[in-house]
Structure 1
Amino acid sequence: MSPVFSHGDLRLYLLSLLDEGPRHGYDIMTALSDRTGGTYTPSAGTIYPRLAKLEEEGLVTKTVDGRKTVYEITDAGRAEVASRSGDLEGIEAGLTDSIRLIADEVRGSVRDAMKSLRADLAAASREEHANAAQSRPDEESPRVASREQLARADAAVSEFRARVRADLRTFVARGGVLEASVVDSLTGALDAAGHELTRVLRG
């Protein structure tokens, strides 16, 4: 994955965050992660040296508040943010594109999972028909086999449901924007899978 911030952009974005109000270091790192939809989670080793550099340049001041160091933008820092508003808009647009890419990946994962599920259902149906044709004419045997396959189907559906829920919850927890189009794609794919299952079962 290409860097979320190109050279010099992180410096300006840090100033823009502080232009919104004073922040301590952890709050800055959390804000960066939230606003990039979890695509960028900076380390302390990345953020604090840049804050120290901004302080050296007179763009930021810091004060110690108990166990926290709070950073605040100076008038010179505000002037730089104001003078580079166009650059900042470009950075924001890039972050929006990054979040959109995540949404596209979610849609792709849902589509792939549903294709796999439909393929598994079709294969299971073919296997069941083949086994039924080869088995001896025992009325109880198909019922036993059907119960076994039903248990497999229940497990597959439960596993898929848990995986998709976990992916979606993690995405939102990281600050991602879950677009209506993603949910529409999910419900559409599930509906299609349901119709396909009905068609296969009715033979």
Structure 2
Amino acid sequence: MSPVFSHGDLRLYILSLLDEAPRHGYDLMQALTDRTGGTYSPSAGTIYPRLAKLEEEGLVTKTVDGRKTVYEITDAGRTEVADRSGDLEGIRAGLADSVRLIADEVRGSVRDAMRSLRADLAAAARDERDHSPSVPADDTRARSREQLSRADAAINEFRGRVRSELRAHVARGGELVASGVDEIEAALRQASEAASRAMRG
């Protein structure tokens, strides 16, 4: 069982996807990848046995369309989805909570990284003011390169910390969906804009 889905959740989630529209196996795998923000990419060995079991239970049917096998939910499958709507809501609520958790963690990491970067930039500006204007250009460039190395180190540390947090969250069974990644990207854009403003002054 995937660490993203608790016991039985993947089976129900596949049924809910088929309740939306008939799908072939690859389409189901892609939908699961998309809805978990790319953190869970099920293999054919995960999906097809579950589809076969659902077919055996009379919850889905399959038809061959050219080289593709298309799976479609049956009335019995729709009844199960309807009867377990509360369970589905729980899965989706857990997913939404995970998105908020990841977004909060990233925002906190971004704030910490920006405080550190602002402090480094302020220290660099003070160092620059303390030096004579007659300092040769080569020395100025050398100091800038030194500060650039510090900034690179801070950024790399931040990147590593966020990646570690994301991977640990998923490994613990948390979910990450496209909307969560959208929030992360927005937070990173804000951090980039803040860094640009800090460098300007």
**What TM-score, normalized by structure 1, do the two folds share?**
0.69
Distance in structure 2 (CA, Å) of the matches to 1:77 and 1:117: 54
**CA 1:140–1:191 in structure 2 vs 1: closer, same or farther (change >3 Å)?**
closer
1:10 partner letter: L
> 1:4, 1:95 within 8 Å by CA — same for their partners in 2?
no
Task: List aligned pairs for 1:14-163, cutoff 5 A.
Answer: 14-122=14-122, 124-125=124-125, 132=131, 139-141=134-136, 143-150=137-144, 156=151
Give, in whole Å, the separation in 2 of the partners of 1:49 and 1:95.
Answer: 24
TM-score, normalised relative to structure 2 = 0.69
The unaligned stretches of length 5 or more in structure 2 are 163-176
The separation in 2 between residues aligned to 1:67 and 1:105, in whole angstroms, is: 44
Instruction: Letter of the 1:44 partner, please give it.
Output: A
Change (3 A) 1:99 1:145: same
For residue 146 of structure 1, report the CA deviation from its aligned partner: 1.9
Q: Which amino acid aligns with 2:52?
A: A
Q: Which gives a bigger RCO, structure 1 or 2 (Cα 8 Å, sep 6+)?
A: 2
| Amino acid in structure 1 at the alignment position of 2:6 | S
Structure 1 residues 112, 42: closer, same or farther in 2, change over 3 A? farther
Of all paired residues, the percent bearing the same amino acid is: 65
Q: Using the TM superposition, give the Cα deviation of residue 109 of structure 1 relative to its aligned residue in structure 2, in angstroms.
A: 3.4
Q: Name which one, 1 or 2, has greater alpha-carbon Rg.
A: 1
Unaligned runs of 5+ in 1: 168-173, 199-203
User: Which amino acid letter does the alignment assign opposite residue 139 of structure 1?
Assistant: S
May I ask how many residue pairs the two structures share in their alignment? 180
Cα 1:37/1:102, change in 2 over 3 Å:
farther
Moved more, 74-83 or 98-107: 98-107
> 1:115, 1:126 → 2: CA distance?
16
Q: Quickly say closer, same or farther: Cα 1:117–1:192, change in 2 above 3 A.
A: closer
